[in-house]
């Protein structure tokens, strides 16, 4: 079991690559708080990351699950797919983040945090 890591300043691409080597498919699961502009990485389940963020004061409606692929670039680097994203109350009915504005906010936050 790995220790989840809260990213509120920055994380290097190299650190993400090392994390991805422990996961099937070369990915790093993450949960982003779009209000606080932070994320938690390095856990087997995004639901565990979500619980950690909620314990630390995040609000459910601000949390979105993504997968990061450190070996890829551009649009392929972030995948907007997680079970925690299924939110009928926010009109998000699938595992994907359907709101383009939220996707863009997530991209901006990840770009700021991953150096």
Question: Which among 47, 27, 37 has a CA at the least distance from the CA of 6?
Answer: 37
- pLDDT number for residue 22: 86
Residue 1 pLDDT grade (very low, low, confident, very high; cuts 50, 70, 90) = very low
Q: What is the pLDDT of residues 54-83, one digit of tens each?
A: 999 999 999 999 999 999 998 899 999 999
Summarize the confidence of residues 94-115 as an average pLDDT: 97
Is the pLDDT confidence value at 41 over 90? yes
Question: Which among 19, 4, 114 has a CA at the least distance from the CA of 49?
Answer: 4
Is-above-0.85 flag for pTM? yes
Percent of the chain with pLDDT over 90: 89
């Amino acid at each position: 079991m790995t220790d989840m890591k809260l990213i509120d300043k920055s994380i290097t691409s190299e650190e993400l690559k090392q994390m991805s080597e422990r996961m099937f498919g070369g990915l790093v699961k993450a949960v982003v708080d779009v209000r606080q502009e932070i994320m938690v990485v390095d856990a087997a389940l995004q639901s565990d990351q979500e619980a950690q963020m909620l314990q630390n004061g995040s609000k459910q409606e601000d949390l979105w699950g993504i997968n990061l692929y450190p070996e890829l670039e551009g649009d392929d680097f972030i995948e907007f797919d997680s079970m925690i994203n299924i939110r009928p109350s926010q009109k998000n009915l699938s595992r994907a983040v359907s709101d383009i504005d939220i996707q863009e906010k997530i991209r901006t936050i990840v770009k700021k945090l991953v150096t």
